[in-house]
Structure 1
Amino acid sequence: MLDPEMGSPTGQDDRSAPERRPLRLVARTITKAWEGNIFSEAAEAAFWQVLSFPPLLLGLLGSIGYVGEWFGPEVVQAVRDKIVSTCRTIFSGDVVNGVITPTVDQILTVGKGEIVSVGFLISLWAGSSAMASFVDAVTVAHGQYGVRHEVWQRIFALLLYVVSLVLLIIGLPVLALGPDVLPRFLPDRWQAVAEAWLSAFYYPVIGVLLVLALATLYKLALPRKLPWHRLAPGAALAMVVFILSSVGLRLYIRWITTTGYTYGALATPIAFLLFVFFIGLAITIGAYFNSAIQEMWPARMTRRQRRRWRRLELVRAAERIMSRDGGEAADDAEELRARGTGRKVAGRGGSRGKAAGQGKAGGQGKAGGQGGHGGGKSGKGVRRRVAGRGGKRGGTKSGSGDPKQGGDPGGTGGGPGDKGAAGRTGQPENA
């Protein structure tokens, strides 16, 4: 049965697929998410996000100190202000003032020397734990968790985290200083228009970049890739789910504080945990949404997947030939298997032809010699020897010996019905 993640080999949709309606898609997404235990996966991702948050800020803000030498000394403070202001639009005020701002300020006092320390390398491994949880959640949603080896999947998450960290180190200064620095490179009469456009489209552009980043995560996390446009709906849904959940959580926190009911000193950590829980929930439900779309509307196979499908079919055909014909079609099956796996069978036809030629010539010589030498002997003894040698040759043709010269005239190994072996070898024609 063809894997739905690989698509259809002909590019046609399966006629036996369920009814393709939006409500059916929503129901299928919810069913798959519930069966995949989405809340446990989101809680696991939230736990690793909390543990990875300080190492992430250490690697991000500590490395920006080197980038500040390119953009100017004020870039670190600008990035710090941009991080805090962006977090205020997402998290509640208590979370920003009690968790994020103190952590950012403390990391900025560490200095650039900590970047080359062993602690920073350990922070890379700890910071990649959140990325590893996201990769695991995406592969589980698409039913591909066991495809990639567990050790390689953890190393892959670490590499993906390092690449994301490098992109953030380069991109955050650009996003932080872009609206103020970019208009300076334009003529004076265009600076006012550029500032207006940047202020109007700044947050929409950030939203599009985040959707592209989520689609990239969905694509790279899968061992069996899907096209980019097939993963954009899940990324957009993840953005919508997180925005709605964060707005609802902020309203809930604001309402709960007005009632006088509070968690005391645990209120800020609990609120932070809830926010990161909704981040994991949004990313996971986006992955299940993409999986439901792929299940209901299978994507066309890419060229790479078609090549893999052809190789798989060739290997299966070789196995069927081997199981049906036994050892007689071993060379043909080996050729099909080699074509399926991409190997070359060097000299297979030549070696087989050479072996066949040697067997043919040897059979002729030996049969002729035995026939000539045994011309004066009894037909019974010669018949026994010829029949024995014919059995060793497996019943194949061994030549076209002349019965007058004492050769094997039948060419079938001297069987019981062989006229030359049974009658003429006992009494030669010249006698």
Structure 2
Amino acid sequence: MSKSLQAIRGMNDILPEQTPLWRYFEGTVARLLDNYGYRQIRMPIVEFTELFKRSIGEVTDIVEKEMYTFDDRNGDSLTLRPEGTAACVRAVLEHGITGGGQVQKLWYIGPMFRHERPQKGRYRQFHQIGLEVFNLDGPDIDAELIVMTWRLWGELGLRDAVKLELNSLGTSESRGRYREALVAFLSAHQDKLDEDSQRRLKTNPLRVLDTKNADTQAVLVDAPKMADYLDDESRAHFEGLKARLDAVGIPYVINPKLVRGLDYYSKTVFEWVTDKLGAQGTVCAGGRYDGLVEQMGGKPTPGVGFAMGIERLVLMLEALDKVPEELSRQVDVYLCAFGEAAELAALSLSERIRDQLPNLRLQINAGAGSFKSQFKKADKSGALYALILGDDELAQQVVGFKPLRGQGEQQSIAWDALAAHLATCVVQG
């Protein structure tokens, strides 16, 4: 017997029972970004591998271990995108939309791919919403990104479940000085470092700060602090960011070990973290990358952005019981029709109602069926009300109107009055 077909490990189907919550979350974010003046951009899922090697860094875990890379039929090395910033920078460079100092405030949504061990909320195909802003170099735009996420948490009911962590990595020059001091310190304690940190010491020493190993964390207590190596420009930028967050009243903590996993960050880095999802606690993260555009062949262009994981935030909404009640109902009204003449009239009537009430979720029965079977389907749909159209109703040009979820007797409503009655009842329901 042939092996049954199934999804690839870590790449999951999102079933119809789950998609209403996804659409609610994505729609909430999209409306918020529209209100702040951000415009959507859509990039390909596949890019040349060199793009990610040049932007993310060849000695990062993503490039070394996690990317889905393959040669196409032309012999080109291609990669399923592991993150969105590099692709967005490539797009704005290719199309010249940041030239001449043009400010661009962009956002995107879609799947990303990393070959890592699947865990709850962390998959090999995962989905992100990302923002990128180009040609603004002050702390005001850094603050705006954080303020927007704070507003989003408020709209979703998640503010009490997240914490903002901040750090500054300084310019490339100040980070280089700090790197030298950190390497010297860690080399003197190399025998106490875990195996992964010993490897990173030679390739990407700042990532040692991000270790989860308890013994290495104990060593890092006495390690040099990035704050002591910041240049005046980076220090002023960081103070400006904190002043703006203080002005809005957004709480935060300074985490000197926050470095992020990608090489292109400079100055501001931040993460929104939670303790509601177990080990996978980061739900939104980003920072400034002023040198990335130039590194990828463009003119010096300041940039800043963030990405949020949709899977993790959907899990949070479910875990904290923040799913809006109406999402459990896919249909407002279910129209039952009995007999061919009633079916024809029901089709015409339902389209007339949709013209008058375009936001009403109205489902018309398909597949005929007895009175009992149609009402069973109406109840299973989750509809608040059933409409009944048979020969008697057809002769009188009325419909039966029956509440399915509460008190109230069945009544007859004239066709011409039906839209107004539904508008009142569905809103009240």
TM-score by length of 2: 0.26
Structure with the higher helix share, 1 or 2: 1
Q: Say which one has the larger Rg.
A: 1
Name whichever structure is richer in strand by fraction: 2
Give the TM-score, by structure 1 length. 0.26
